[in-house]
C-alpha cells in the first residue's frame, strides 16, 4: 500500500518525538486480527496519540480532534482542553501558548495517519472516512475517554464510536472486532487484550453499552494484572493525584488508611 506523503518538517519532528519519547514493548499482539479492527484504549495525555502513531502494528489511522487541524480553531480548543484547569493566574501564559502551537498542530495532525473527529454536523465525515479506512484493511485507533471517572485505571468511554462497526457491516457485510488497548507509559508497554466482537443483530443501544463495558473492563483487568505502576490518567491533574494500578478496592483502603 502506498505510504502517505508527508513534509520534511513533519518527518524531522516525528523522528525527534520518537527519539525522546518512551520506546514501547508490544504485548498481546496475537489478539490483533489480520484484517481491519477498531482499537480502543486509554488516552493518558499525549502518550496515547504519540504511541498510536509510532507503535501500533500494521496500517492504521488514529482518531484526532478535528479542531486541532483547523487553523482558526486550534488555539481555543487547545486552551480549553489542555490548560483551562490551570490556575487562573497563569491563564494568560497558556492563552499565548495556545496561539503559538497553531503551526505545529497543523503540521503534526495533518501529516500523521489521522482521521479528523468532530462533534457537530461534520461527524458523518468522521464516520465516512473511518469506514473507508477499515475498507482498505486498516486499523482505526480511538481514545474514547471523557470527563466521567470510572475507576482508578480508566475514565468512562463515550459510546457513539461503536456505531462505526454497524456502518462498516452495512457497507461490507463483515463484522469487525474491537480490541482493548492498555497503554502503560511508566512501564513502556502497549498491551492488546482479547477482541470484543460486534454483534449486528443486537440493537445499537445494546451494542454500545455491551461493547464499551467489556472494553473498559478488559483494559482495567490488563492494568491490574501488571506489576504495580503509576497510571497516567485521562485528564490533566497534579501528579500527586495519579493512581496506582492496584485493584480499586485495595487502592481505596490504602488511601483511607494513608
Give CA–CA dist 100/238, Å, rounded. 24
Cell matching residue 197: 466482537
What CA–CA distances, in Å, run from 117 to 60, 109, 111, 240?
Answer: 15, 12, 15, 32
Domain of 229?
Answer: 22-59+115-257
pTM score, whole prediction = 0.89
72-89 burial, b for 16+ CB within 10 Å, e for fewer? eebbebbbeebbeeeeee
Burial of 237 (0-12, 13-18, 19+ CB in 10 A): exposed
Query: Does residue 81 sit within a domain?
Result: no
In this structure, is residue 182 part of a structural domain?
yes
24 in Cβ contact with 56 (< 8 Å): no
Mean of pLDDT values over 1-29: 88
Total number of domains in the chain: 1
- Is 189 domain-assigned? yes
In a domain, residue 250? The reply is yes
User: Residue 41 and residue 174: Cα distance in Å, rounded?
Assistant: 23
Domain assignment present for 75: no
Residue 105 lies in a domain: no
What are the tens digits of pLDDT across the range 242-252? 999 987 555 44
CA–centroid distance for 156 within its chain: 13
List, for residues 162-209, the tens digit of each pLDDT value. 999 999 999 999 999 999 999 999 999 999 999 999 999 999 999 999
In a domain, 47, yes or no: yes
C-alpha–C-alpha distance, residues 234 and 252, integer Å = 19
Decide if 88 is inside a domain: no
**What are the pLDDT digits (tens) for 21-72?**
999 999 999 999 999 999 999 999 889 999 999 999 999 999 998 888 888 9
Amino acid at each position: 500500500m502506498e505510504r502517505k506523503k508527508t513534509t520534511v518538517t513533519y518527518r524531522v519532528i516525528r523522528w525527534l518525538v520518537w527519539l525522546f519519547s518512551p520506546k514501547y514493548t508490544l504485548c498481546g499482539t496475537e489478539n490483533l486480527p489480520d484484517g481491519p479492527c477498531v482499537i480502543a484504549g486509554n488516552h493518558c495525555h499525549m502518550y496515547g496519540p504519540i504511541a498510536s502513531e509510532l507503535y501500533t502494528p500494521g496500517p492504521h489511522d488514529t482518531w484526532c480532534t478535528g479542531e486541532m487541524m483547523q487553523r482558526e480553531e486550534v488555539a481555543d480548543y487547545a486552551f480549553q482542553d489542555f490548560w483551562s484547569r490551570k490556575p487562573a493566574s497563569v491563564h494568560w501564559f497558556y492563552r499565548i501558548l495556545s496561539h503559538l502551537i497553531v503551526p505545529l498542530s497543523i503540521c503534526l495532525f495533518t501529516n500523521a495517519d489521522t482521521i479528523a473527529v468532530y462533534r457537530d454536523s461534520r461527524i458523518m465525515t468522521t464516520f465516512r472516512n473511518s469506514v473507508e479506512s477499515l475498507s482498505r484493511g486498516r486499523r482505526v485507533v480511538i481514545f474514547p475517554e471523557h470527563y466521567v471517572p470510572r475507576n482508578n485505571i480508566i475514565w468512562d468511554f463515550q459510546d457513539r464510536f461503536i456505531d462505526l462497526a454497524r456502518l462498516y457491516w452495512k457497507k461490507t457485510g463483515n463484522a469487525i472486532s474491537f480490541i482493548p488497548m492498555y497503554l502503560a507509559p511508566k512501564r513502556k508497554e502497549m498491551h492488546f487484550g482479547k477482541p470484543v466482537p460486534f454483534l449486528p443483530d443486537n440493537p445499537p443501544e445494546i451494542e454500545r453499552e455491551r461493547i464499551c463495558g467489556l472494553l473498559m473492563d478488559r483494559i482495567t483487568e490488563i492494568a491490574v494484572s501488571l506489576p504495580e505502576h503509576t497510571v497516567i490518567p485521562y485528564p490533566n491533574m497534579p501528579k500527586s493525584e495519579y493512581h496506582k494500578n492496584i485493584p480499586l478496592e485495595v487502592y481505596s483502603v490504602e488511601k483511607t488508611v494513608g
